[in-house]
Amino acid sequence: MIPGGESTAMLKLMEPGRLDREIARRAEAGMPVLATCAGVILLARAVRPEQDSLDLLDVDVVRNAFGRQAYSSVTTIEVNGELGGAPQMEAVFIRAPQIDRVGDGVEVLGRLGAEPVLVAAGAIIAATFHPELSADRRIHRLFCNRAEAVHG
């Protein structure tokens, strides 16, 4: 799990023990990863404004694209059938990044309008919002199911 928070601070905290390299090594070996909000920034191939990342997910993101803290919101997003249940779910956006490019091999599982907000590639699931702040547990179940598929 790579949570929300402040991505540049998270990178600095990972640096002394080289945790960033260990996460990247394990994810590349198939370790399941669920990233939310700032976690998506850490996984992205490219980040604007430019900053380092783990480059594990073929997406480009824009930090804080939905605005400052005062513009945080709870809204409904459209989700695809893989999540099961209703075609919509509640999503809590807090200074959320925006995915502005999705690469080959990355599937879009959820959208806010035309914008991808929930994506997956193999054992990696990334949400630009905070699914842990909603009562809907479908993303968590999907993560557990994919983890079990990878590791039995």
Task: List the domain boundaries for the chain.
Answer: 7-151
Number of residues that this document lists for the chain: 152
What is the CATH architecture assignment of 7-151?
Answer: 3-Layer(aba) Sandwich (3.40)
* Helical spans, DSSP H, in 4-97: 7-14, 19-28, 38-43
Q: Has this prediction a pTM greater than 0.85?
A: yes
Confidence bin at 65 (pLDDT 50/70/90): confident
Which active-site residues does the annotation give? 37, 130, 132
Write the pLDDT tens digit of every residue in 22-31.
999 999 998 9
**Sequence-distant (≥ 6) Cβ neighbours of residue 8 within 8 angstroms:** 51
Residue 93 pLDDT > 90, yes or no?
yes
